[in-house]
A and B are shown apart, each in its own frame.
Chain A
Amino acid sequence: NAGVTQTPKFQVLKTGQSMTLQCAQDMNHNSMYWYRQDPGMGLRLIYYSASEGTTDKGEVPNGYNVSRLNKREFSLRLESAAPSQTSVYFCASSPSSGQGVWGYTFGSGTRLTVV
C-alpha cells in the first residue's frame, strides 16, 4: 500500500519551460489536492478535486492547471515556469465527500527550482 505517490522528487526548470507534476493515490480516496509550501508561508492550496471529474481553484491558482485523470491520479501543470514558482509542492488525498470531511494523506513532495 503506497499511499500517495508523487513524481518527480526534484526538478530544475528554466524560466518559460513547462512541466507536469504527477500524483497518484491507491487508497480509493474521493478528494485530491495540490499545495505549495514556501518558507514562512505554510501550506497554500493551488487546486483541488472534490471528486473524479471536478476541479476547483484554491488560494493561489495563477500559473497552474490541473487534470483529474481518473479517481487515482491528479496532475499539476506549469505551462510557463517563473522563478516565483520555486517551491515545494505537495499532493494530498482524502476520503472527504458530501458525507463528511477527513484528514489528508500527503505525498512526499516535489522540490521545484525555477532559474
Chain B
Amino acid sequence: GENVEQHPSTLSVQEGDSAVIKCTYSDSASNYFPWYKQELGKRPQLIIDIRSNVGEKKDQRIAVTLNKTAKHFSLHITETQPEDSAVYFCAANAAGNKLTFGGGTRVLVKP
C-alpha cells in the first residue's frame, strides 16, 4: 500500500521567515496530494491540495510543489505569522480513494 513520509517532525521559525515541509510517497499511481493544518485540540482542516497534472499551486502565503518523477511534494509557507503555528499533515491518495497521511510536522512560529 501507499507509504507517506514527512520531514521534519518539528520546525521552529522566526516570524516573517519561510517554512518548508517535505513529503515523499511510494505509490506511483497516487494523483492527489492534500495538506491539512491541525491546531491544538482541533480537527485537521484542508488548507491546500494539488493534483498530479500540475507542478505547483499557490494560495496567498501558501504554495505546494509536486515532483512526480521523484515522488515528493512540499508545502511552502512564506511570511510566517504566529497563527501559522500548528501541526501540518501531508497525505496522498491510495486505492479505494482513501488517504494515507504523513506523520505530521509541528511548526512553531516565534514572534
Binding site for B on A (CB under 8 A): 31, 33, 35, 40-45, 48, 50, 56, 58-59, 90, 94, 96-97, 101-109
Contact = CB atoms under 8 A, between A and B. Distances in A.
B96 A42 contact: no
A101 B104 CA distance: 21
Contacts of B102: 42
Contacts, number: 54
B43 A90 contact: yes
Nearest to A4: B43
Contact of A104 (B1, B42, B96, B99): B99
Nearest to A40: B103
B28 interface: no
A31 B103 contact: no
A50 B43 contact: no
Interface residues of B, number: 22
Given A40-B103, A48-B96, A103 B46 contact: yes
A58 B98 contact: yes
Q: Which 9 A-B pairs have the closest CB atoms?
A: A96-B97, A106-B43, A43-B101, A42-B103, A103-B46, A103-B34, A101-B93, A101-B32, A101-B97
Contacts of A90: 43-44
B65 interface: no
Nearest to B104: A42
Given A106-B43, A106-B45, A45 B89 contact: no
B56 to A, nearest CB: 18
B97 A108 contact: no
